[in-house]
Structure 1
Amino acid sequence: MREGRLWSWLAVALGGLYFLLPLVGMFDFSMRMQRDGYSFEAYRVVLADPQFQQTFGYSVVLALLTIVLGILLIVPTAYFVRLRFPGLRPVVEFLTLLPLVIPPIVIVFGYIRIYNTSSVLPLTGSWWGTNLLILFGYATLSLPYMYRSVDTGLRTIDVGSLTEAAQSLGSGWTRILAVVILPNVFVSVLSGAFLTFAIVIGEYVFAALLNVGSFGPYMVWMGGNRAYEPSALAVVAFAITWACMALIQLVTRFSKFSTVRR
Protein backbone atom coordinates (compact mmCIF):
# COMPACT_ATOMS: atom_id res chain seq x y z
CA MET A 1 0.00 0.00 0.00
CA ARG A 2 2.87 2.35 0.76
CA GLU A 3 4.36 1.74 -2.67
CA GLY A 4 1.02 2.45 -4.33
CA ARG A 5 0.58 5.62 -2.32
CA LEU A 6 4.08 6.72 -3.31
CA TRP A 7 3.30 6.29 -6.99
CA SER A 8 0.04 8.19 -6.54
CA TRP A 9 1.79 11.14 -4.94
CA LEU A 10 4.45 11.02 -7.66
CA ALA A 11 1.78 11.18 -10.38
CA VAL A 12 0.10 14.12 -8.62
CA ALA A 13 3.44 15.93 -8.28
CA LEU A 14 4.30 15.42 -11.96
CA GLY A 15 0.86 16.62 -13.01
CA GLY A 16 1.19 19.66 -10.77
CA LEU A 17 4.59 20.52 -12.24
CA TYR A 18 3.23 20.09 -15.77
CA PHE A 19 0.54 22.72 -15.14
CA LEU A 20 2.34 25.02 -12.72
CA LEU A 21 5.74 25.45 -14.39
CA PRO A 22 4.33 27.30 -17.46
CA LEU A 23 2.37 29.58 -15.13
CA VAL A 24 5.46 30.27 -13.03
CA GLY A 25 7.43 31.07 -16.18
CA MET A 26 4.69 33.39 -17.42
CA PHE A 27 4.53 35.16 -14.06
CA ASP A 28 8.32 35.51 -14.00
CA PHE A 29 8.29 37.03 -17.49
CA SER A 30 5.52 39.48 -16.56
CA MET A 31 7.68 40.78 -13.70
CA ARG A 32 10.64 41.69 -15.97
CA MET A 33 9.22 44.75 -17.71
CA GLN A 34 11.81 46.96 -16.01
CA ARG A 35 15.33 45.90 -16.87
CA ASP A 36 16.84 46.65 -13.46
CA GLY A 37 14.91 43.87 -11.65
CA TYR A 38 11.52 42.46 -10.82
CA SER A 39 8.56 44.80 -10.62
CA PHE A 40 4.80 44.93 -10.99
CA GLU A 41 5.04 47.59 -13.70
CA ALA A 42 3.28 45.42 -16.30
CA TYR A 43 0.37 44.88 -13.91
CA ARG A 44 0.21 48.59 -13.14
CA VAL A 45 0.10 49.42 -16.85
CA VAL A 46 -2.59 46.84 -17.53
CA LEU A 47 -4.83 47.74 -14.59
CA ALA A 48 -4.49 51.47 -15.35
CA ASP A 49 -5.43 51.01 -19.01
CA PRO A 50 -8.90 52.55 -19.62
CA GLN A 51 -9.56 49.94 -22.28
CA PHE A 52 -8.93 47.16 -19.74
CA GLN A 53 -11.31 48.78 -17.27
CA GLN A 54 -13.98 49.24 -19.92
CA THR A 55 -13.77 45.74 -21.43
CA PHE A 56 -13.45 43.97 -18.09
CA GLY A 57 -16.38 45.91 -16.62
CA TYR A 58 -18.47 45.11 -19.68
CA SER A 59 -17.65 41.41 -19.42
CA VAL A 60 -18.47 41.35 -15.70
CA VAL A 61 -21.89 42.92 -16.32
CA LEU A 62 -22.51 40.52 -19.20
CA ALA A 63 -21.46 37.56 -17.02
CA LEU A 64 -23.86 38.60 -14.25
CA LEU A 65 -26.72 38.98 -16.73
CA THR A 66 -25.88 35.57 -18.21
CA ILE A 67 -26.00 34.03 -14.73
CA VAL A 68 -29.40 35.58 -14.02
CA LEU A 69 -30.75 34.40 -17.38
CA GLY A 70 -29.33 30.93 -16.82
CA ILE A 71 -30.92 30.65 -13.38
CA LEU A 72 -34.32 31.82 -14.67
CA LEU A 73 -34.13 29.30 -17.50
CA ILE A 74 -32.49 26.26 -15.89
CA VAL A 75 -33.95 26.11 -12.37
CA PRO A 76 -37.64 25.91 -13.45
CA THR A 77 -36.75 23.56 -16.33
CA ALA A 78 -34.75 21.14 -14.19
CA TYR A 79 -37.39 21.31 -11.45
CA PHE A 80 -40.38 20.50 -13.67
CA VAL A 81 -38.46 17.81 -15.55
CA ARG A 82 -37.65 16.06 -12.27
CA LEU A 83 -41.12 16.59 -10.78
CA ARG A 84 -43.57 16.24 -13.67
CA PHE A 85 -41.74 14.97 -16.76
CA PRO A 86 -39.00 12.52 -15.74
CA GLY A 87 -39.28 10.81 -19.11
CA LEU A 88 -37.99 13.95 -20.81
CA ARG A 89 -34.81 14.01 -18.74
CA PRO A 90 -32.64 12.24 -21.37
CA VAL A 91 -33.89 14.64 -24.04
CA VAL A 92 -33.14 17.72 -21.90
CA GLU A 93 -29.71 16.36 -21.00
CA PHE A 94 -28.96 15.81 -24.69
CA LEU A 95 -30.06 19.33 -25.59
CA THR A 96 -27.94 20.87 -22.84
CA LEU A 97 -24.90 18.93 -24.07
CA LEU A 98 -25.17 20.30 -27.60
CA PRO A 99 -23.10 23.45 -26.85
CA LEU A 100 -20.17 21.13 -26.05
CA VAL A 101 -20.54 19.43 -29.44
CA ILE A 102 -21.37 22.40 -31.67
CA PRO A 103 -18.44 24.87 -31.90
CA PRO A 104 -19.23 28.44 -30.82
CA ILE A 105 -18.17 29.73 -34.24
CA VAL A 106 -21.02 27.73 -35.82
CA ILE A 107 -23.53 29.22 -33.40
CA VAL A 108 -22.38 32.79 -33.94
CA PHE A 109 -22.36 32.41 -37.73
CA GLY A 110 -25.91 31.12 -37.46
CA TYR A 111 -26.82 34.24 -35.48
CA ILE A 112 -25.24 36.47 -38.12
CA ARG A 113 -27.01 34.59 -40.90
CA ILE A 114 -30.45 34.75 -39.29
CA TYR A 115 -30.33 38.15 -37.57
CA ASN A 116 -28.34 40.28 -40.05
CA THR A 117 -29.52 43.68 -41.22
CA SER A 118 -31.36 42.21 -44.24
CA SER A 119 -33.44 39.77 -42.18
CA VAL A 120 -36.83 40.20 -40.54
CA LEU A 121 -35.15 40.63 -37.12
CA PRO A 122 -32.04 42.76 -37.80
CA LEU A 123 -30.57 42.38 -34.32
CA THR A 124 -26.97 42.76 -35.51
CA GLY A 125 -27.77 46.24 -36.78
CA SER A 126 -28.13 47.79 -33.33
CA TRP A 127 -26.11 47.90 -30.11
CA TRP A 128 -28.98 46.49 -28.01
CA GLY A 129 -29.70 43.74 -30.51
CA THR A 130 -26.06 42.65 -30.66
CA ASN A 131 -25.81 42.57 -26.89
CA LEU A 132 -29.02 40.55 -26.72
CA LEU A 133 -27.57 38.02 -29.15
CA ILE A 134 -24.32 37.69 -27.26
CA LEU A 135 -26.22 37.35 -23.98
CA PHE A 136 -28.27 34.46 -25.36
CA GLY A 137 -25.11 32.99 -26.88
CA TYR A 138 -23.31 33.00 -23.55
CA ALA A 139 -26.35 31.52 -21.84
CA THR A 140 -26.24 28.73 -24.43
CA LEU A 141 -22.56 28.06 -23.76
CA SER A 142 -23.23 27.85 -20.03
CA LEU A 143 -26.12 25.36 -20.36
CA PRO A 144 -24.07 22.16 -19.81
CA TYR A 145 -22.52 23.48 -16.60
CA MET A 146 -25.52 25.27 -15.14
CA TYR A 147 -27.99 22.46 -15.86
CA ARG A 148 -25.81 19.73 -14.38
CA SER A 149 -25.08 21.78 -11.29
CA VAL A 150 -28.77 22.45 -10.66
CA ASP A 151 -29.80 18.88 -11.52
CA THR A 152 -27.22 17.53 -9.07
CA GLY A 153 -28.61 19.80 -6.36
CA LEU A 154 -32.16 18.65 -7.06
CA ARG A 155 -31.10 15.03 -6.63
CA THR A 156 -30.12 15.71 -3.03
CA ILE A 157 -33.58 16.91 -1.99
CA ASP A 158 -37.05 15.37 -2.02
CA VAL A 159 -38.63 17.60 -4.64
CA GLY A 160 -42.04 15.91 -4.48
CA SER A 161 -42.45 16.16 -0.70
CA LEU A 162 -41.29 19.79 -0.61
CA THR A 163 -43.69 20.70 -3.41
CA GLU A 164 -46.65 18.97 -1.75
CA ALA A 165 -45.89 20.65 1.58
CA ALA A 166 -45.68 24.07 -0.04
CA GLN A 167 -48.88 23.54 -2.02
CA SER A 168 -50.72 22.44 1.11
CA LEU A 169 -49.83 25.83 2.60
CA GLY A 170 -51.24 27.65 -0.40
CA SER A 171 -48.03 28.44 -2.33
CA GLY A 172 -48.10 28.82 -6.10
CA TRP A 173 -45.44 27.64 -8.53
CA THR A 174 -43.52 30.91 -8.51
CA ARG A 175 -43.37 31.01 -4.72
CA ILE A 176 -42.37 27.35 -4.54
CA LEU A 177 -39.48 27.92 -6.92
CA ALA A 178 -38.30 31.13 -5.29
CA VAL A 179 -38.79 30.29 -1.59
CA VAL A 180 -38.58 26.49 -1.39
CA ILE A 181 -36.57 25.05 -4.28
CA LEU A 182 -33.99 27.76 -4.98
CA PRO A 183 -32.69 28.03 -1.37
CA ASN A 184 -32.27 24.25 -1.22
CA VAL A 185 -30.16 24.16 -4.40
CA PHE A 186 -28.42 27.47 -3.78
CA VAL A 187 -24.93 25.93 -3.50
CA SER A 188 -25.39 24.07 -6.77
CA VAL A 189 -26.65 27.24 -8.46
CA LEU A 190 -23.59 29.10 -7.20
CA SER A 191 -21.31 26.41 -8.61
CA GLY A 192 -22.88 26.79 -12.03
CA ALA A 193 -22.83 30.58 -11.67
CA PHE A 194 -19.08 30.73 -10.96
CA LEU A 195 -18.34 28.41 -13.89
CA THR A 196 -20.51 30.61 -16.11
CA PHE A 197 -18.66 33.69 -14.89
CA ALA A 198 -15.29 32.15 -15.75
CA ILE A 199 -16.53 31.14 -19.23
CA VAL A 200 -17.95 34.57 -20.10
CA ILE A 201 -14.90 36.48 -18.88
CA GLY A 202 -12.53 34.69 -21.24
CA GLU A 203 -14.84 34.05 -24.22
CA TYR A 204 -13.50 35.32 -27.55
CA VAL A 205 -15.42 33.92 -30.55
CA PHE A 206 -18.84 35.49 -29.92
CA ALA A 207 -17.41 38.87 -28.94
CA ALA A 208 -14.97 39.06 -31.85
CA LEU A 209 -17.38 38.03 -34.62
CA LEU A 210 -20.21 40.18 -33.25
CA ASN A 211 -17.74 43.07 -32.87
CA VAL A 212 -18.29 43.58 -29.14
CA GLY A 213 -15.59 45.16 -26.98
CA SER A 214 -15.33 42.57 -24.22
CA PHE A 215 -12.42 41.21 -22.22
CA GLY A 216 -11.64 38.25 -24.51
CA PRO A 217 -10.86 40.28 -27.66
CA TYR A 218 -8.93 42.77 -25.54
CA MET A 219 -6.67 39.95 -24.31
CA VAL A 220 -6.04 38.81 -27.88
CA TRP A 221 -5.32 42.38 -29.02
CA MET A 222 -2.95 42.90 -26.14
CA GLY A 223 -1.13 39.67 -26.98
CA GLY A 224 -0.50 40.86 -30.53
CA ASN A 225 0.69 44.37 -29.69
CA ARG A 226 2.57 44.24 -26.38
CA ALA A 227 5.37 42.17 -24.85
CA TYR A 228 5.09 41.98 -21.06
CA GLU A 229 1.53 43.17 -20.55
CA PRO A 230 -0.10 40.08 -22.14
CA SER A 231 1.61 37.83 -19.58
CA ALA A 232 0.37 40.05 -16.76
CA LEU A 233 -3.11 40.02 -18.26
CA ALA A 234 -3.05 36.23 -18.55
CA VAL A 235 -2.04 35.95 -14.88
CA VAL A 236 -4.95 38.22 -13.94
CA ALA A 237 -7.34 36.07 -15.99
CA PHE A 238 -6.04 32.89 -14.34
CA ALA A 239 -6.40 34.51 -10.92
CA ILE A 240 -10.04 35.36 -11.67
CA THR A 241 -10.74 31.79 -12.76
CA TRP A 242 -9.02 30.33 -9.71
CA ALA A 243 -10.93 32.72 -7.46
CA CYS A 244 -14.19 31.42 -8.93
CA MET A 245 -13.11 27.82 -8.30
CA ALA A 246 -12.04 28.68 -4.75
CA LEU A 247 -15.40 30.35 -4.08
CA ILE A 248 -17.18 27.21 -5.25
CA GLN A 249 -15.18 25.11 -2.80
CA LEU A 250 -15.66 27.64 0.00
CA VAL A 251 -19.41 27.89 -0.46
CA THR A 252 -19.74 24.10 -0.71
CA ARG A 253 -17.76 23.50 2.48
CA PHE A 254 -19.63 26.24 4.33
CA SER A 255 -22.94 24.71 3.26
CA LYS A 256 -21.87 21.24 4.43
CA PHE A 257 -20.64 22.69 7.75
CA SER A 258 -23.94 24.53 8.28
CA THR A 259 -25.90 21.34 7.49
CA VAL A 260 -23.86 19.32 9.99
CA ARG A 261 -24.39 21.93 12.72
CA ARG A 262 -28.11 21.89 12.13
Structure 2
Amino acid sequence: MKKSRLDFWAFFWAVLALLYFFIPLYGTLDFSLRMKKGELSLLAYEIVFSDPRFLQSFQYSVIMGIISVSISIMIFVPTVYWLYLKMPKARPLVEIITIIPFVIPVIVYVYGLNTTFGRAPLRLTSNAFTSDILMVGGYIVLSMPYMYRAIDVGMRTIDVRTLTEAAQSMGASWAQILLNVIFPNLRIAILSGALICFATVIGELILGDFLLRPALGPYMAAVGRDKAYEPAALAIISYAMTWASLGLIQYFSHGGSTQRQLTGR
Protein backbone atom coordinates (compact mmCIF):
# COMPACT_ATOMS: atom_id res chain seq x y z
CA MET A 1 0.00 0.00 0.00
CA LYS A 2 2.79 2.40 0.94
CA LYS A 3 4.66 1.71 -2.29
CA SER A 4 1.54 2.33 -4.39
CA ARG A 5 1.00 5.68 -2.65
CA LEU A 6 4.58 6.66 -3.37
CA ASP A 7 4.15 5.66 -7.02
CA PHE A 8 0.97 7.73 -7.22
CA TRP A 9 2.60 10.86 -5.83
CA ALA A 10 5.65 10.41 -8.04
CA PHE A 11 3.37 10.13 -11.06
CA PHE A 12 1.31 13.11 -9.87
CA TRP A 13 4.29 15.43 -9.48
CA ALA A 14 5.77 14.28 -12.80
CA VAL A 15 2.51 15.08 -14.60
CA LEU A 16 2.27 18.42 -12.79
CA ALA A 17 5.81 19.33 -13.85
CA LEU A 18 5.08 18.40 -17.46
CA LEU A 19 1.90 20.49 -17.46
CA TYR A 20 3.79 23.41 -15.90
CA PHE A 21 6.28 23.26 -18.76
CA PHE A 22 4.10 22.38 -21.74
CA ILE A 23 1.00 24.53 -21.11
CA PRO A 24 2.88 27.86 -21.55
CA LEU A 25 4.72 26.37 -24.52
CA TYR A 26 1.45 25.30 -26.12
CA GLY A 27 -0.03 28.74 -25.45
CA THR A 28 2.95 30.41 -27.13
CA LEU A 29 2.71 28.08 -30.12
CA ASP A 30 -1.04 28.61 -30.46
CA PHE A 31 -0.67 32.40 -30.24
CA SER A 32 2.09 32.40 -32.88
CA LEU A 33 -0.29 30.66 -35.31
CA ARG A 34 -3.14 33.18 -34.95
CA MET A 35 -1.76 36.17 -36.83
CA LYS A 36 -4.55 35.74 -39.37
CA LYS A 37 -7.84 36.43 -37.64
CA GLY A 38 -10.09 33.39 -37.31
CA GLU A 39 -7.65 30.80 -38.67
CA LEU A 40 -4.36 29.11 -37.94
CA SER A 41 -1.47 30.09 -40.18
CA LEU A 42 2.30 30.23 -40.37
CA LEU A 43 2.27 33.90 -41.36
CA ALA A 44 4.27 35.00 -38.30
CA TYR A 45 6.97 32.45 -39.12
CA GLU A 46 7.00 33.53 -42.77
CA ILE A 47 7.50 37.15 -41.71
CA VAL A 48 10.32 36.19 -39.34
CA PHE A 49 12.19 34.08 -41.89
CA SER A 50 11.74 36.68 -44.62
CA ASP A 51 13.09 39.49 -42.42
CA PRO A 52 16.68 40.26 -43.54
CA ARG A 53 17.50 41.39 -39.99
CA PHE A 54 16.64 37.93 -38.66
CA LEU A 55 18.83 36.23 -41.25
CA GLN A 56 21.68 38.64 -40.58
CA SER A 57 21.48 38.29 -36.79
CA PHE A 58 21.10 34.51 -36.96
CA GLN A 59 24.10 34.18 -39.29
CA TYR A 60 26.17 36.46 -37.07
CA SER A 61 25.28 34.51 -33.91
CA VAL A 62 26.01 31.18 -35.61
CA ILE A 63 29.46 32.39 -36.71
CA MET A 64 30.23 33.80 -33.26
CA GLY A 65 28.98 30.58 -31.68
CA ILE A 66 31.18 28.37 -33.87
CA ILE A 67 34.25 30.51 -33.18
CA SER A 68 33.55 30.62 -29.43
CA VAL A 69 32.97 26.87 -29.18
CA SER A 70 36.10 26.09 -31.20
CA ILE A 71 38.30 28.29 -29.01
CA SER A 72 36.68 26.89 -25.85
CA ILE A 73 37.53 23.35 -26.94
CA MET A 74 41.14 24.33 -27.69
CA ILE A 75 41.42 25.96 -24.25
CA PHE A 76 39.59 23.57 -21.95
CA VAL A 77 40.56 20.15 -23.32
CA PRO A 78 44.33 20.68 -22.80
CA THR A 79 43.66 22.46 -19.49
CA VAL A 80 41.51 19.69 -18.02
CA TYR A 81 43.88 17.05 -19.38
CA TRP A 82 46.84 18.72 -17.69
CA LEU A 83 44.91 19.04 -14.44
CA TYR A 84 44.16 15.31 -14.40
CA LEU A 85 47.70 14.37 -15.38
CA LYS A 86 49.91 16.80 -13.46
CA MET A 87 47.83 18.91 -11.04
CA PRO A 88 44.96 16.83 -9.60
CA LYS A 89 45.02 18.77 -6.32
CA ALA A 90 44.24 21.99 -8.20
CA ARG A 91 40.98 20.64 -9.61
CA PRO A 92 38.77 21.89 -6.73
CA LEU A 93 40.14 25.41 -7.17
CA VAL A 94 39.60 25.32 -10.93
CA GLU A 95 36.05 24.04 -10.43
CA ILE A 96 35.32 27.03 -8.19
CA ILE A 97 36.75 29.39 -10.81
CA THR A 98 34.64 27.87 -13.57
CA ILE A 99 31.36 28.51 -11.73
CA ILE A 100 32.08 32.23 -11.25
CA PRO A 101 29.83 33.09 -14.26
CA PHE A 102 26.96 31.55 -12.28
CA VAL A 103 27.76 33.70 -9.24
CA ILE A 104 28.36 37.09 -10.87
CA PRO A 105 25.29 38.49 -12.68
CA VAL A 106 25.79 38.71 -16.42
CA ILE A 107 24.92 42.40 -16.46
CA VAL A 108 27.75 43.12 -13.98
CA TYR A 109 30.25 41.09 -15.99
CA VAL A 110 29.27 42.69 -19.30
CA TYR A 111 29.30 46.19 -17.81
CA GLY A 112 32.81 45.61 -16.46
CA LEU A 113 33.92 44.21 -19.81
CA ASN A 114 32.51 47.18 -21.66
CA THR A 115 33.90 49.85 -19.35
CA THR A 116 37.34 48.23 -19.03
CA PHE A 117 38.05 47.56 -22.70
CA GLY A 118 35.97 50.39 -24.13
CA ARG A 119 37.99 53.20 -22.58
CA ALA A 120 41.33 54.70 -23.61
CA PRO A 121 43.92 53.52 -24.40
CA LEU A 122 42.37 50.23 -25.57
CA ARG A 123 39.00 51.36 -26.97
CA LEU A 124 38.23 47.87 -28.27
CA THR A 125 34.59 48.78 -28.74
CA SER A 126 35.41 51.47 -31.29
CA ASN A 127 35.16 49.18 -34.33
CA ALA A 128 33.34 46.01 -35.35
CA PHE A 129 36.36 43.68 -35.46
CA THR A 130 37.62 44.37 -31.94
CA SER A 131 34.05 44.34 -30.63
CA ASP A 132 33.64 40.88 -32.13
CA ILE A 133 36.81 39.78 -30.33
CA LEU A 134 35.28 40.98 -27.06
CA MET A 135 32.07 39.14 -27.94
CA VAL A 136 33.93 35.87 -28.46
CA GLY A 137 35.86 36.31 -25.21
CA GLY A 138 32.65 37.08 -23.35
CA TYR A 139 30.89 34.06 -24.81
CA ILE A 140 33.79 31.80 -23.80
CA VAL A 141 33.61 33.03 -20.21
CA LEU A 142 29.81 32.80 -20.00
CA SER A 143 29.81 29.24 -21.39
CA MET A 144 32.83 28.16 -19.34
CA PRO A 145 30.83 26.22 -16.69
CA TYR A 146 29.13 24.07 -19.32
CA MET A 147 32.20 23.32 -21.40
CA TYR A 148 34.47 22.64 -18.44
CA ARG A 149 31.94 20.39 -16.73
CA ALA A 150 31.27 18.38 -19.89
CA ILE A 151 34.98 17.80 -20.54
CA ASP A 152 35.62 17.05 -16.86
CA VAL A 153 32.92 14.37 -16.85
CA GLY A 154 34.35 12.86 -20.03
CA MET A 155 37.88 12.90 -18.62
CA ARG A 156 36.73 10.91 -15.58
CA THR A 157 35.68 8.02 -17.82
CA ILE A 158 39.18 7.44 -19.23
CA ASP A 159 42.48 6.47 -17.64
CA VAL A 160 44.44 9.59 -18.53
CA ARG A 161 47.75 8.52 -17.01
CA THR A 162 47.78 5.05 -18.58
CA LEU A 163 46.86 6.37 -22.02
CA THR A 164 49.55 9.05 -21.78
CA GLU A 165 52.25 6.63 -20.68
CA ALA A 166 51.31 4.19 -23.44
CA ALA A 167 51.44 6.93 -26.07
CA GLN A 168 54.77 8.25 -24.76
CA SER A 169 56.26 4.75 -24.81
CA MET A 170 55.49 4.69 -28.54
CA GLY A 171 57.25 8.02 -29.08
CA ALA A 172 54.20 10.29 -29.32
CA SER A 173 54.63 14.00 -28.67
CA TRP A 174 52.29 16.01 -26.45
CA ALA A 175 50.46 17.35 -29.48
CA GLN A 176 50.03 13.83 -30.87
CA ILE A 177 48.74 12.59 -27.51
CA LEU A 178 46.12 15.32 -27.39
CA LEU A 179 45.03 15.02 -31.02
CA ASN A 180 45.22 11.25 -31.50
CA VAL A 181 44.52 9.87 -28.02
CA ILE A 182 42.68 12.34 -25.77
CA PHE A 183 40.40 14.07 -28.29
CA PRO A 184 38.99 10.82 -29.79
CA ASN A 185 38.17 9.49 -26.32
CA LEU A 186 36.40 12.74 -25.40
CA ARG A 187 34.41 13.22 -28.60
CA ILE A 188 31.01 12.64 -26.91
CA ALA A 189 31.86 14.93 -23.98
CA ILE A 190 33.21 17.61 -26.32
CA LEU A 191 30.13 17.41 -28.52
CA SER A 192 27.82 17.68 -25.51
CA GLY A 193 29.63 20.72 -24.16
CA ALA A 194 29.84 22.30 -27.61
CA LEU A 195 26.10 21.99 -28.27
CA ILE A 196 25.18 23.41 -24.86
CA CYS A 197 27.61 26.30 -25.31
CA PHE A 198 26.32 26.93 -28.82
CA ALA A 199 22.72 27.08 -27.59
CA THR A 200 23.82 29.49 -24.84
CA VAL A 201 25.58 31.76 -27.32
CA ILE A 202 22.64 31.78 -29.74
CA GLY A 203 20.21 33.05 -27.11
CA GLU A 204 22.53 35.45 -25.25
CA LEU A 205 21.14 39.00 -25.04
CA ILE A 206 23.07 41.30 -22.72
CA LEU A 207 26.55 40.98 -24.24
CA GLY A 208 25.39 41.73 -27.78
CA ASP A 209 23.15 44.54 -26.56
CA PHE A 210 25.90 46.33 -24.64
CA LEU A 211 28.47 45.94 -27.42
CA LEU A 212 25.93 46.98 -30.09
CA ARG A 213 26.51 43.90 -32.23
CA PRO A 214 23.86 42.39 -34.57
CA ALA A 215 23.35 39.20 -32.55
CA LEU A 216 20.16 37.15 -32.41
CA GLY A 217 19.40 37.94 -28.77
CA PRO A 218 19.14 41.74 -29.23
CA TYR A 219 17.12 41.20 -32.41
CA MET A 220 14.62 39.03 -30.53
CA ALA A 221 14.36 41.66 -27.80
CA ALA A 222 13.76 44.42 -30.36
CA VAL A 223 11.06 42.38 -32.10
CA GLY A 224 9.45 41.70 -28.72
CA ARG A 225 9.11 45.43 -28.09
CA ASP A 226 7.60 46.29 -31.48
CA LYS A 227 5.59 43.24 -32.58
CA ALA A 228 2.93 40.91 -31.19
CA TYR A 229 2.91 37.55 -32.98
CA GLU A 230 6.48 37.48 -34.28
CA PRO A 231 8.03 37.29 -30.77
CA ALA A 232 5.97 34.17 -30.06
CA ALA A 233 7.22 32.64 -33.31
CA LEU A 234 10.81 33.51 -32.38
CA ALA A 235 10.32 31.92 -28.96
CA ILE A 236 9.14 28.68 -30.57
CA ILE A 237 12.08 28.77 -33.00
CA SER A 238 14.54 29.22 -30.12
CA TYR A 239 12.87 26.39 -28.20
CA ALA A 240 13.19 24.19 -31.29
CA MET A 241 16.91 24.95 -31.64
CA THR A 242 17.51 24.23 -27.95
CA TRP A 243 15.62 20.94 -28.05
CA ALA A 244 17.41 19.98 -31.26
CA SER A 245 20.74 20.51 -29.49
CA LEU A 246 19.61 18.42 -26.52
CA GLY A 247 18.36 15.72 -28.88
CA LEU A 248 21.72 15.58 -30.64
CA ILE A 249 23.49 15.31 -27.29
CA GLN A 250 21.23 12.43 -26.27
CA TYR A 251 21.60 10.69 -29.62
CA PHE A 252 25.38 10.83 -29.79
CA SER A 253 25.78 10.03 -26.08
CA HIS A 254 23.64 6.92 -26.51
CA GLY A 255 25.63 5.93 -29.57
CA GLY A 256 28.89 6.40 -27.71
CA SER A 257 27.76 4.30 -24.73
CA THR A 258 26.51 1.56 -27.05
CA GLN A 259 29.83 1.48 -28.88
CA ARG A 260 31.75 1.22 -25.59
CA GLN A 261 29.56 -1.70 -24.50
CA LEU A 262 30.13 -3.51 -27.80
CA THR A 263 33.89 -3.04 -27.64
CA GLY A 264 34.01 -3.95 -23.97
CA ARG A 265 35.54 -0.63 -22.88
TM-score range, shorter-chain basis?
A: over 0.9
Runs of 4+ that moved beyond 4 A? none
Percent of aligned pairs with the same amino acid:
42
Question: CA shift at 1:27, angstroms?
Answer: 0.4
Counterparts of 2:38 and 2:22 in 1: how far apart (Å)?
Answer: 26
Question: CA shift at 1:117, angstroms?
Answer: 4.4
Amino acid at match of 2:58: F
Q: Quick check: 103-112 or 194-203, which moved more?
A: 103-112
Counting only pairs closer than 5 Å after superposition, residues 149-168 of structure 1 correspond to structure 2 as 149-168=150-169
For residue 194 of structure 2, what is the aligned residue in structure 1?
Answer: 193
Among candidates 31, 34, 37, match of residue 33 of structure 2:
31
Ranges in structure 2 where 5+ consecutive residues have no aligned partner: none
Counting only pairs closer than 5 Å after superposition, residues 208-223 of structure 1 correspond to structure 2 as 208-223=209-224
Specify the SS of the correspondent of 1:39. Answer: coil
For residue 142 of structure 2, what is the aligned residue in structure 1?
Answer: 141
Among candidates 65, 81, 84, match of residue 86 of structure 2:
84
Counterparts of 2:136 and 2:105 in 1: how far apart (Å)?
Answer: 17
Question: CA shift at 1:24, angstroms?
Answer: 0.2
For residue 94 of structure 1, what is the aligned residue in structure 2?
Answer: 96
- For residues 173-203 of structure 1, the C-alpha deviation after alignment (integer angstroms, 9 at most, x for no partner) is 1111111001101111111111101110110
For residue 69 of structure 1, what is the aligned residue in structure 2?
Answer: 71
- For residues 41-67 of structure 1, the C-alpha deviation after alignment (integer angstroms, 9 at most, x for no partner) is 111110111110000011011111111
Amino acid at match of 2:118: N
Counterparts of 2:165 and 2:50 in 1: how far apart (Å)?
Answer: 55
CA contact (8 A) 1:149 1:191 kept: yes
RMSD: 0.9
CA contact (8 A) 1:190 1:248 kept: yes
**Residue 6 of structure 2 is aligned to residue 12 of structure 1:** no
Counterparts of 2:44 and 2:116 in 1: how far apart (Å)?
Answer: 42
- For residues 1-44 of structure 1, the C-alpha deviation after alignment (integer angstroms, 9 at most, x for no partner) is 22211211111000000011001001000000011300111111
Counterparts of 1:112 and 1:209 in 2: how far apart (Å)?
Answer: 7
For residue 51 of structure 1, what is the aligned residue in structure 2?
Answer: 53
Counterparts of 1:112 and 1:4 in 2: how far apart (Å)?
Answer: 53
Ranges in structure 1 where 5+ consecutive residues have no aligned partner: none
- For residues 97-150 of structure 1, the C-alpha deviation after alignment (integer angstroms, 9 at most, x for no partner) is 11111112222222222212422x221112111000010000001111110110
**Residue 169 of structure 2 is aligned to residue 207 of structure 1:** no
Among candidates 106, 114, 126, match of residue 112 of structure 1:
114
Specify the SS of the correspondent of 1:28. Answer: helix
Question: CA shift at 1:220, angstroms?
Answer: 0.4
Question: CA shift at 1:69, angstroms?
Answer: 0.8
Question: CA shift at 1:259, angstroms?
Answer: 1.5
Counterparts of 2:231 and 2:114 in 1: how far apart (Å)?
Answer: 30
Counting only pairs closer than 5 Å after superposition, residues 222-233 of structure 1 correspond to structure 2 as 222-233=223-234
CA contact (8 A) 1:108 1:209 kept: yes
Specify the SS of the correspondent of 1:124. Answer: coil
| TM-score normalized by the length of structure 2 | 0.96
Amino acid at match of 1:38: L
For residue 237 of structure 1, what is the aligned residue in structure 2?
Answer: 238
CA contact (8 A) 1:117 1:125 kept: no
Specify the SS of the correspondent of 2:37. Answer: coil
Counterparts of 2:119 and 2:248 in 1: how far apart (Å)?
Answer: 42
Counterparts of 2:118 and 2:201 in 1: how far apart (Å)?
Answer: 23
Counterparts of 2:6 and 2:108 in 1: how far apart (Å)?
Answer: 46
Counting only pairs closer than 5 Å after superposition, residues 173-184 of structure 1 correspond to structure 2 as 173-184=174-185
